[in-house]
Structure 1
Amino acid sequence: MNQIDNGTIHYRDELVRKLIHLTSLSIPVIYYFIPRSVAITILAALTVFALALDLARYFHPEIGKIFYKIFGFLLRKHELDHKKKNLNGATYVLISALIGVIIFPKVIFVTAFAILIISDTSAALIGRKFGKNPFLRKSLEGTLAFFISASVVILFTPKLTDSVAEYVIGFTAAFIGAIIENISYGIADDNLSIPISVGFVMWALYLIIFPNLDLILPNVPR
């Protein structure tokens, strides 16, 4: 989210929301050190719990009352729609993480998911505070914040070679991620669209540039 402020939620609430969002950075960090099978088991359990709780707030008033009392100020307008029964962003984060771990090689997932957490946060806070120039569906400032922060992430995430081409892969995916974050507002939840699109772009470029490279991180649990 980096749209020019539409008054849906106050900036302070967005700041709190994104600080909580940053705790999800623990997912790629922990996954780096544990086997894929263990990560899938943990994420599947957490996702089922989050889905059950998220849907229960719509169908069970008592659960909804407690849920909204604790988390209500963090929810956006579309996350409060009892007619459409939309899931909240945190549930999408877990769904996204589970799908990503199942689909992507670890080296790609760690990068793509770190970009989601760090760059989506940067885009939201910069875009909401300083976004003055409309660009596509959101603001130019927020989209630039996404791309710049994602590029920084690329500099520090795991690599398989010492080739400059591998950084080009990352920067290209970061650019695509910035555009997807911008245009996904109102169409799809960017907690899902960003890491999936970044992951597939990276994977496709690895296959094109390094067709014979085994996408397995050395000395890391598989």
Structure 2
Amino acid sequence: MLLFTKKQLTNLLRYLGIGVKRVPRVIKELRRKGFHVVGLIIPLVLYVGINYTTFFTKEVALWIMSTITLVYFIWEMLRLNIPAVKEFCMRTYGGMMREKEKDRINGSFFYLLGSTLCIYAFNPTVTIASLLFLIIGDFSAALIGLSYGKTKIGNKSLEGTCAMFLSCLLISLVLFRDCNLGEQLAFWGSLAASLVELFNPSWIDDNLTIPCFSGLAIHFMAYRLGTEIVC
């Protein structure tokens, strides 16, 4: 978003064949999802730490994420209960929040909570894959669905779901390339993430459900196939 003015971005989206009525919604979603891309720091640090250091273990990662999640939860409680804090938050990053998040815990907390649970429960490679499914896969689903979606499934679109599945599949094929039957793990994990995104109930945040359920699906399939997930 910082690379383009609003007019330039509008012209680019129109050039890509996105209808005039869809452009404002796509721009708004790009701004919101673009901010969420900051969440890539968690799987990135986990990948580098686990693979290229000796001190950054799964236990260290869990301790750090648990602390961050707790601190953010306290901040959210302050935002929801102290008007001055809420005013500050709305002024600084309120534009990135969905309308329904302004008076309840926002999606960033559920992303942190989901990351913490995944680190605790899953193999590090599965955790990284599951978080990338959420960040990149969900971004793909939103962007393609809002831009080109025509076949509606509830309030989502078939086009967006297919985009998420393909992006998740590409990510997981790379991450599980050294695993026996890694393509099977990639397929079922990507399918689980896409179905959760498509049918996720409104009362629970998909920042929590997508990584947790896709991670569970990968571990379940690894158990059923009798294959080991390589870190």
Aligned twin of 1:94? 112
RMSD: 1.9
- SS across alignment from 2:134: helix
Q: Deviations over 1:31-68 (max 9, x none)?
A: 12231122112211211121111121111000000001
Q: Kindly state the Cα deviation for residue 11 of structure 1 after the two structures are TM-superposed.
A: 2.9
- Greater RCO, 1 or 2 (C-alpha within 8 Å, sep 6+): 1
Unaligned runs of 5+ in 2: 1-21, 50-55
Match of 2:79 among 57, 62, 69: 57
Query: With structure 2 as the length reference, what TM-score do the two structures score?
Result: 0.81
Matched, 1:194 2:210: yes
Unaligned runs of 5+ in 1: 1-6, 218-222
Q: How many residues align?
A: 202
Aligned twin of 1:30? 45
Aligned twin of 2:223? 207
- Letter of the 1:179 counterpart: L
Match of 2:164 among 146, 154, 176: 146
Moved more, 148-157 or 57-66: 148-157
**What is the distance in 1 between the residues matched to 2:196 and 2:154?**
11
Q: Kindly state the Cα deviation for residue 158 of structure 1 after the two structures are TM-superposed.
A: 4.3
Within a 5 Å distance, the mapping from 1:58-77 to structure 2 comes to: 58-77=80-99
- Write out the 4+ residue segments of structure 1 that deviate beyond 2 Å after TM superposition: 9-13, 158-161
Match of 2:128 among 104, 110, 133: 110
Contact 1:13 1:73 in 2 (8 A): no
- SS across alignment from 1:101: helix
Sequence identity percentage? 27
Query: With structure 1 as the length reference, what TM-score do the two structures score?
Result: 0.84
Q: Kindly state the Cα deviation for residue 77 of structure 1 after the two structures are TM-superposed.
A: 1.9
Contact 1:120 1:181 in 2 (8 A): yes
